[in-house]
Structure 1
Amino acid sequence: MTVRQLIGIGLRLLAMWLCLNAFVGYGLVLASANNRVDHGSFSPAVVEFMVVIAFELMALVLWFFSNHIAGALLSGFSKDVEIRIRPSDLVVVGCVLMGLWWLKDATLPLLSLWLRSIFLSSTTTDQSTLEMMSTSIRINCGLYLLQITVALVLIYRSRRIANWLLQYPRLSSGETYEDKELGGP
């Protein structure tokens, strides 16, 4: 594995992170749009949607041109140094770290909302907890649960994700990926 390929993998992981966070941002825009006052012809939600679309476009550019960008970043170096790390191991570590980060980001706010709802439901007994929550809080809870689900998939299916990201062909019996190189220009 060369330094260029390592940077390319890092750029693809950054693209995944941007894409997933843009979807969370899209959910937050929808949740906040319910609580807004109409501003006439200009709506702040339009600007927020544009930012989400910009993040998605940046993720697509990073994904499809990761090897070209890595080559441009390393254009001043004379030689591409060989590194003795398997690409799939790097992607597995990246997926697990991203999953743990997302799990941390979603678990504590969801726990906070759950404890608040238990406290509120204990003070008033004539309404259920779900009825007491506003629409934006319900959407946030759904987004947190979705984020936890994606984080657990990233953690527990990291090897499959690595094989999909690196797009290795199926191996016949007895072959290994140790000497495989990443595709790209």
Structure 2
Amino acid sequence: MFYSHTFLARKGPLSTVWIAAHLQHRLKKSHYTCTDISSTVDRIMFPEAPIALRMSGHLLLGVVRIYSKKVDYLHQDCNVLLVGLRKAFASIAVNLPEGSSKAPPEYITLPETFELDALDLDFNLYHEGAPDNHLRSQEDITLTDQVPVERDLYIAISFDEDIVMDLSHPDVPNSRVDVSEH
């Protein structure tokens, strides 16, 4: 049998595939998820050194087992997600009118041209007599002027005497900026 020992070495490029073919119980999930199927098959089909047909068959068996295990992991993850979604939406009460099992298409689909001005939002979504809490008066949704007109627009800033005394102390450098220069 002719093959390069570097392929099957413990840290070799095809070692995980060889172990999957012969000692599948030794591999962990991380070994399966780290293996790139396409590059591994390329290394088997176009090797750097000649590989015997029997050896390439064993390696392809390992690739098939790794791929099968990856599919099993994906299936398990999808099932966990599906169960989680079912649990999340199982307790939500749907308020559909009696006799209907699904919402009308115009409630859940967008029009051909989506223009906010042309969008008809006058659907009768509420029961007759129920208050519409989604409409507010103009005063509630409009911001009023925040600047008081009656008062002086300039604000007077005063310093405490302690700060003024510290600034006049000879050890503290004078950090005044002359406004007239700017």
TM-score, with normalisation over the residues of structure 2?
0.28
Which structure has greater helix proportion?
1
TM-score normalised by L of structure 1: 0.28
Q: Which has the higher contact order (CA 8 A, sep 6+)?
A: 1
